[in-house]
Amino acid sequence: MNRTRILALLSLLACGKGAAPPQDHIALPPGAQLKPFDPTKPGEARPLYTAQLGGRVYVTLSNARAQGNFVVTAGPGFLGGIDPFAGTVDLIDLGGSDEHQCTNPGVVRADAGKLYVACSGDFSGTTPGRGVFEVDPATKAVSRGLVTPEGIVPSGVAVTAGKIWLGDSITPQLVSIDRTTFTAADGADAGHPAIPVPCPSTGQFPFVPYVGIVNGDLYALCATTEAGVLGRFDAQTGAAKGSVAVGAQPTEFAATGDGRIAVVNSNENTLTLVTPGAQLSAQLALTFSSSTSTLQDVKARGNLLYTVASGSNTVQKIDLAAAGGPKVVAEANTGTGSNPFNLEALDDDTVVVVNYATSDVVSRSLKTVQ
């Protein structure tokens, strides 16, 4: 073996060790480990939203089971802290002392070393189990929490230095919590009303599916079956700062590396790019293939976007800087019947995907192929 070959081999070994791939498949804990309300009727993890913090992927576990054609909450909400390389999952119980403090956890956000989770309860807005909870990943425990005002079903979380904003799944409005005191702020009472969200003029029963902070502003989606609007607000006061129409029934958005906001529109099978400025402007960036369906998630990494299509069990990588405009440059299938819900990009070419239907986590390579 000549010297060149030896060097090449050593180099390969070194690189391989430094870029150890994530586990292909990680099973989430079975329902029996998720403290079922009725030990004889455990649910399944049913993972939903994800966030990255400290090298781990955190995922909300809705802990549900099916009873015939109905989905039933089987136990308290959990956060799963996943080490995608080691394949381990740490469970964080969000249920509190009575295990009913948080049920049906949804969006999770990471900020300043903490995690913030919105819990929807039984989606009625009147029973316990709904609220927002701060989790300390170091102690793997809920550090603070607040039950949201009656009538509100939290649907998204956006975290600023002073406030935690929540969307409402029932009424198109925003409420907030003082992050320091963890007490209700906007929407707390008649003197501090909730912030109305601009919504499409067409379609019935608008609601807020997602909120987030981009470049210091608060953004909220408002969705109907046939349309969608992205609204911009002052992140401290909630004052409206404009809005723009996006596609039909938008589900999530992400800030791109070039300062824009990418929105996936589930019903329309499209991707919209919103350009913030004095006014918001939007353009249709991409219409997905007809075989791609139920767009759920979008995440950004520089000029690369990563999307999840639950109905077609696929995840995509989109290059915003591609010649000719945004283009799908890689795609992977997460498995028949997996219903992927959210993903996290570990690097430009690797994503970790949580599958709702199969209650597991898979990693996929998304190396550019076209």
Partner 1 sequence: MPRVFAVLRRPIRFAPPAAIALGIALAPRPARAEEGRPEAEPLDVVVIGAPGSTRAPAAQSTVVEADKFKGEVRSVAEMLSTSPGVSVHALGGPGQATTLSLRGASADQSLVLLDGIPLHGPGGGAVDLATLPAALLDRLVISRGVLGAQFGAGALGGVVELVPVRPRGDRLQGETRLSAGSFGTYGASGSVAAPWSDEGKGVFAVQLDRTGGAFPYDQQLTPEIAGAPYYEFTRENADAWRASTLLRAASPIGSDTEVDLLFQGSFGERGLPGPATNPTPRSREQDGSAMLGARVRGSAGPAAISVRAWGDLDLIELRGVSAFGDCEDGTPDCPRSHQSASALRGELEAGGPLGDRQWLRGTVLGGTDRASGDETGLHRRGVFSASVSDDVRLGAVSLFPAVRIDLVGHDAGVSPAIAATLKPWDEPIELRAGAGISFRAPTFSELYLQQGGLAPNPDLAPEHARSVDAGVTWRTRQLTLSAGAFASWYHDLIVYELFPPAAVKPFNVGSARILGLELQAVASLPLGLTAELAYTALQSTNTRPGALEGHSLPYRPPHRLFVRIAHHAGRFESYAEGNATASMPRNQFDTAFLPAQLLLNAGVGARVAGPLWIDLDAKNLLNDRTLEDLSQYPLPGFSLAVVARARL
Query: Which spans of this chain sit near partner 1 (rule: CB under 8 A)?
Result: 41, 65-71, 120, 123, 153, 155, 169-170, 200-205, 207, 223-227, 247-249, 267-270, 287-293, 311-314, 316, 328, 330-333, 336-337, 339, 357, 369-370
**Measured distance between the N- and C-terminal CA atoms of the chain, rounded to whole angstroms:** 37
CB count in 10 Å sphere of residue 71: 14
Smallest gap, in angstroms, from Cβ of residue 358 to partner 1?
10
Token pair of 299 as six digits: 């995440």
**197 CB-near residues (< 8 Å, 6+ apart):** 167, 172, 173, 174, 206, 208, 220, 222, 229, 231
Smallest gap, in angstroms, from Cβ of residue 360 to partner 1?
14
φ/ψ of 32, rounded to 5, equals -65, -25
The smaller minimum CB distance to partner 1, of residues 59 and 330, is found at 330
Smallest gap, in angstroms, from Cβ of residue 261 to partner 1?
20
Smallest gap, in angstroms, from Cβ of residue 269 to partner 1?
5
The smaller minimum CB distance to partner 1, of residues 94 and 318, is found at 318
Distance, CA of 321 to CA of 303 (rounded, Å): 6
Nearest to 174 by CA among 161, 182, 183, 185: 185
Smallest gap, in angstroms, from Cβ of residue 146 to partner 1?
19
The smaller minimum CB distance to partner 1, of residues 217 and 331, is found at 331
Distance, CA of 152 to CA of 171 (rounded, Å): 7
Calculate ∠ Cα 191-192-195, nearest 5°.
Answer: 135
The smaller minimum CB distance to partner 1, of residues 60 and 235, is found at 60
φ/ψ of 13, rounded to 5, equals -60, -40
Smallest gap, in angstroms, from Cβ of residue 135 to partner 1?
23
Smallest gap, in angstroms, from Cβ of residue 138 to partner 1?
33
φ/ψ of 355, rounded to 5, equals -105, 120
The smaller minimum CB distance to partner 1, of residues 60 and 155, is found at 155
Distance, CA of 207 to CA of 313 (rounded, Å): 26
Smallest gap, in angstroms, from Cβ of residue 197 to partner 1?
13
* Cβ burial 156-165 (10 Å sphere, 16+ → b, else e): bbbbbeebbb
- Dihedral, 214, 215, 219, 221 alpha carbons, nearest 10: -40
8 A C-beta contact, residue 241 and residue 217? yes
The smaller minimum CB distance to partner 1, of residues 1 and 369, is found at 369
The smaller minimum CB distance to partner 1, of residues 153 and 254, is found at 153
The smaller minimum CB distance to partner 1, of residues 120 and 296, is found at 120
